[in-house]
Structure 1
Amino acid sequence: MTGLLQLLLLVSLTLASEPSCPACSKYDYEEKLLERMVRMEFAFEKVLNENKAVIKTVEQDLTRIKEENTRLHATVDALKDQQEQAELKLVSFMEGVERNQSSTLEKIVSDSNTTLEQTISAFNDIKDQIVTPMVYFHARSPQTSSLSTGEVIVYKTVETNQGNGYSATTGKFTAPARGLYLFFMHTCTPPSKYAYLQIVKESSVLIASEHYDKERYTCSTSPAFVQLDASESVWVQCSSGAAYVQLYEDSHRWTSYGGALIHN
């Protein structure tokens, strides 16, 4: 546009400079006009060339801008795809973490419950081994005072019977639980009478005693330790009976039998 204005201005100046001098010939005028027209044509061609160069430069710049714009769009699209893929990976990762955490938590709870159950079971086993149940008894007053050989002494008055192991009907103690027991028999006799007694476990003698005093009422005690299984029985029996074998009891002297579980 600037080149075209310059050309028009040049034409105007050329036309406006026609000589008004009468002395100037028409030939000279035409020659000068032609010369000016040639110069104007060269100037016009120069302006056109310059405009073409400018147009070409502009077109090249537009082409580069379009290419850059296309490249930028492609880059933006690629970035969007990468962002979407990253978001999908993040969601998948978070879901995996949540699943793993849930699975891990369930496993921890399951393992904790199992460990707790095992601990409780072990504790109960240890408790059963450590805690000794309350088992003890004491009975007195033999059912008969004169005894025969092999006779089981039945102590009819039961002072205590924790665990219900002693029977006042049979005179025998039956262990309600396995463990170590301590038994004793306290034997009293009148003057010049004998007592031959023994503590027996299932027909095996644990301890035997002989008691005698010629002039006085006397007593003696015989203890015995024994390991029993549940349902095994222990009792007192006469090892030798006769007319001179006799037991005695009054308010001061008790003929008695007792025992207790001391460890299981």
Structure 2
Amino acid sequence: MTGILQLLLLVSVTMASEPSCPACSKYDYEEKVLERMIRMEFAFEKELKDNKAVSETVEEDLTRIKEENERLHATVDALKDQQEQAERRLVSLMEEVERNQSSTLEKIVSDSNTTLEQTIAAFNDMKDQIATPLVYFNAHFPQTTSLSTGEVIVYKTVETNHGNGYSATTGKFTAPERGLYLFFMHTCTSSTKYSYLQIVKDGSVLIRSVQYEKESFSCSSSQVFVQLDVGETVWVQCSSGSSNRQLNENSSYRWTSFGGALIHN
């Protein structure tokens, strides 16, 4: 643009110039003007070519900028697609992790429940093995009421006999399990009658008792703890007998009885 303005200024100056000498002919002046105009035309054409080259360069630059802009947009779109794919993969991965965690948690809970059930079952088995077995009995109603020294008291009516340790035939209890036992004897007598009884383990006296009441019927009880091995026997025996040594039982009010239980093994 600056070149065109300079060219126009030069034309204006040339057209306005007067011949410098009066002696020059009109044709000389016109020839010189024509020569100048021709040179100016060449200069103008050169300026146009230069401007065209600059314009082409600018167009090329604009084309490159446009192409670069298009590549930039394509890159941005590709990055957006990659971001969306990455987000989808992340969401899928989180869902898979959540499913795996849930599955793992369910497996842990299931395994824990199974282990707990197995532990409880093992504990129950162990408890059954170490628990004190149920061994107990209670019998009453002596076979005879008159007492003689050394006589084993046989209680004929058996109320309970868990473990089958007591024999209503012999009156003796035979331990089916090893452990600590509690035995008792409940003795009733008529007025003015005595009873001398003792609880015996295989011939060894564990406890003795005497019962007497002058004016009425009466009862008393005795208890003893003893450690027994399997097969050892315990019974009630008269320690002193005579004509005034008698037992009494009334089914409604007074039970002369013998009983015991395993309390620890």
User: Fold-level match, TM-score > 0.5?
Assistant: yes
Q: State how far apart, in whole Å, the 1-side matches of 2:128 and 2:152 are.
A: 37
- In structure 2, the residue matched to 1:139 is 140
Shift of 1:66: 2.2
- In structure 2, the residue matched to 1:61 is 62
Would the aligned equivalents of 1:137 and 1:165 in 2 still touch at CA under 8 Å? no
**2:243 is equivalent to residue 235 of structure 1:** no
* Structure 2 counterparts to residues 213-228 of structure 1, below 5 A: 219-227=218-226
Matched residue of 1:139: which SS?
Answer: strand
Q: State how far apart, in whole Å, the 1-side matches of 2:91 and 2:253 are.
A: 93
Q: State how far apart, in whole Å, the 2-side matches of 1:69 and 1:253 are.
A: 117
The change in CA–CA distance for 1:134 and 1:107 in structure 2 (over 3 A counts) is: same
- In structure 1, the residue matched to 2:258 is 258
One-letter code of the match for 1:157? T
- Residues 105-154 of structure 1 deviation map (CA, whole Å, 9 limit, x = unaligned): 311332244346646876898899999969552411324634352x3211
Shift of 1:50: 1.4
**2:136 is equivalent to residue 108 of structure 1:** no
Shift of 1:205: 2.0
- In structure 2, the residue matched to 1:199 is 199
The change in CA–CA distance for 1:122 and 1:230 in structure 2 (over 3 A counts) is: farther
Would the aligned equivalents of 2:188 and 2:249 in 1 still touch at CA under 8 Å? no
One-letter code of the match for 1:161? T
Percentage of matched positions with identical amino acids: 24
Would the aligned equivalents of 1:175 and 1:228 in 2 still touch at CA under 8 Å? no
The change in CA–CA distance for 1:68 and 1:97 in structure 2 (over 3 A counts) is: same
Shift of 1:184: 1.8
* Structure 2 counterparts to residues 48-197 of structure 1, below 5 A: 48-74=49-75, 76-77=77-78, 80-81=81-82, 84=85, 87-88=88-89, 91-115=92-116, 118=119, 135=136, 137-143=138-144, 145-149=146-150, 151-158=151-158, 160-161=159-160, 163=162, 166-173=166-173, 181-188=182-189, 195-197=195-197
Would the aligned equivalents of 1:189 and 1:246 in 2 still touch at CA under 8 Å? no
Q: State how far apart, in whole Å, the 2-side matches of 1:229 and 1:71 are.
A: 100
Would the aligned equivalents of 2:145 and 2:248 in 1 still touch at CA under 8 Å? no
Q: State how far apart, in whole Å, the 2-side matches of 1:109 and 1:43 are.
A: 97
- In structure 1, the residue matched to 2:48 is 47
The change in CA–CA distance for 1:253 and 1:145 in structure 2 (over 3 A counts) is: farther
Q: State how far apart, in whole Å, the 1-side matches of 2:235 and 2:66 are.
A: 118
Would the aligned equivalents of 2:196 and 2:208 in 1 still touch at CA under 8 Å? yes
One-letter code of the match for 1:226? F
RMSD: 4.7
- Residues 93-112 of structure 1 deviation map (CA, whole Å, 9 limit, x = unaligned): 54344323322331133224
Q: State how far apart, in whole Å, the 2-side matches of 1:161 and 1:255 are.
A: 15
The change in CA–CA distance for 1:247 and 1:40 in structure 2 (over 3 A counts) is: same
- Residues 161-180 of structure 1 deviation map (CA, whole Å, 9 limit, x = unaligned): 26365432221345678665
The change in CA–CA distance for 1:248 and 1:260 in structure 2 (over 3 A counts) is: closer
Size of the aligned set, in residue pairs, is 235
Give the structure-2-normalised TM-score.
0.61
Would the aligned equivalents of 1:207 and 1:222 in 2 still touch at CA under 8 Å? no
Give the structure-1-normalised TM-score.
0.62
Matched residue of 1:185: which SS?
Answer: strand
Q: State how far apart, in whole Å, the 1-side matches of 2:144 and 2:65 are.
A: 130
Q: State how far apart, in whole Å, the 1-side matches of 2:83 and 2:121 are.
A: 55
One-letter code of the match for 1:224? Q
Q: State how far apart, in whole Å, the 2-side matches of 1:203 and 1:91 are.
A: 86
Shift of 1:217: 7.5
Would the aligned equivalents of 1:188 and 1:249 in 2 still touch at CA under 8 Å? yes
Shift of 1:155: 1.6
Shift of 1:59: 0.6
One-letter code of the match for 1:154? V
